[in-house]
Amino acid sequence: MSRPLLLILTLYFLLAAGYGIASPPFETPDENLHYFTAEYIAREGRLPTTHDPGLMGQEAAQPPLYYLAASLFVRAFDPDGGAEALWPNPRVDVSSVAGNFWISPLAPPNPRGESGARPPINANMFVRVPEEDWPWRDYALAVHAIRLFSAVLGLGTLLCIHAAGRVVWPERPDRALLATALVAFLPQFAFIHAAVSNDAAITLFSAAALWQLLRIVIGGQEGADWEEG
């Protein structure tokens, strides 16, 4: 691995880890749904269905590989489950989380898009509790461990992007590095890979598939050119 690539990967990982540390548990998009899908698997020892009760929402119908891996962290750090730690914020600014699937029943949508908070800018879905402070433990520790797992999956995505760049530009390694850096330092890429979210696994597998498709297509063209020559 070249030093520039190693530098890009290191800076990305530090950025993702920083996002993960700064963001309170369950405050990234749908993170509570993703977490409690993994928590259900750890607690029940089986995959959930859309008919099972719990805090999983639509994630119960998602492909299970990410949740199976995440459930290992829940089993290790949060064996009793963290559902009781969810304290919905009754003064959440609903307009700021309108895109989130789960909105607290204690904070019904206001037709004017306002909240009861003063000042009326309150984006936290849940009330923060002392148990989430450092040193982390129980569900908070499990959340942060899974976030690091997501960040590691992001490293795999970046390696796939770099490998795809080398396939497309075999004589221009600088372009492969540039493509990798452009993705690595997208704020949203680092942020979503600092969350409990199966998007990290989906992105990795998609990048790996595109890399292999490029190998097949470009490799096939090179083989045909060689045969014609």
Stretch 144-152: mean pLDDT, rounded?
96
Q: How far is Cα 9 from Cα 3, in angstroms, rounded to an integer?
A: 10
On whether the CB atoms of residues 60 and 41 are closer than 8 A, the answer is no
Could you tell me the pLDDT band of residue 49, with boundaries at 50, 70 and 90? confident
The helix/strand/coil state of 86 is coil
Alpha helices by DSSP H, listed for the chain, are 3-22, 31-44, 65-77, 138-168, 173-184, 187-192, 199-228
Q: Are 142 and 78 in contact (CB under 8 A)?
A: yes
Q: Which residue has the higher pLDDT, 18 or 96?
A: 18
pLDDT score at 93: 61
Q: pLDDT, tens digit, for every residue of 132-143?
A: 788 888 888 999
CB 198 within 8 A of CB 34: yes
207: helix, strand or coil = helix
Cα 67 from Cα 40, distance rounded (Å): 9
pLDDT of res. 136: 84
Distance CA(186)–CA(56), nearest Å, equals 29
The rounded distance, in Å, linking the Cα atoms of 208 and 159 is 9
- For 3-43, what is each residue's pLDDT tens digit? 999 999 999 999 999 999 988 888 888 888 899 999 999 98
- What's the confidence (pLDDT) of residue 95? 52
Q: What is the dihedral of CA 186, 191, 193, 194, to 10 degrees?
A: 150
pLDDT of residue 102: 42
Write down the pTM of the prediction.
Answer: 0.80
Average pLDDT across the chain, whole number: 81
pLDDT over threshold 60, residue 99: no
Q: Give the pLDDT band of residue 129 (cuts 50, 70, 90).
A: confident
CA distance 160 to 78: 33
CA distances for 228 relative to 98, 219, 220, 223, 224, angstroms = 58, 14, 12, 9, 6
Tens digit of each residue's pLDDT (9 = 90 or more) over 57-68: 788 888 899 999
Whether 107 and 89 have beta carbons less than 8 Å apart is answered as yes
What is the largest distance, in Å, between two alpha-carbon atoms of the chain? 75
For the ranges 86-90, 183-187, 200-204, the lowest mean pLDDT is seen at 86-90
Q: What is the pLDDT of residue 167?
A: 92
